[in-house]
Amino acid sequence: MLSHLLIHQLASDPSARWVELRDRYEQALSAYVNGEPTQSAGELIKLVANFPEDEPSLLLLQRVVDSIAAKGTKIDPVIRLQRK
């Protein structure tokens, strides 16, 4: 049986920079999940330029670029982690 797990990051009194990062990442992730990888890539490239230390954005950008290169292959939005 497969199940889905939503992961949330808790932030007490988040900074404006953190909120911007969260909102832009969620926008890029939504575009990817909705089958719009080029739109997602465009947002992620700008996001990584502004937040180069954000590894989740880098990981998602890699997945998006891989899906664009795979041309015509169905996008699987599930990220399967190899380790904790």
Per-residue pLDDT 10s for the chain (84 aa) are 556 666 666 667 889 999 999 999 999 999 998 889 999 999 999 999 999 999 999 999 999 999 899 887 776 767 777 776
What's the pLDDT score for residue 3? 60
Measure the CA–CA gap between 29 and 79, rounded to whole angstroms.
11
Domain-wise residue ranges, the chain = 16-69
Measure the CA–CA gap between 33 and 76, rounded to whole angstroms.
8
Q: Global pTM?
A: 0.75
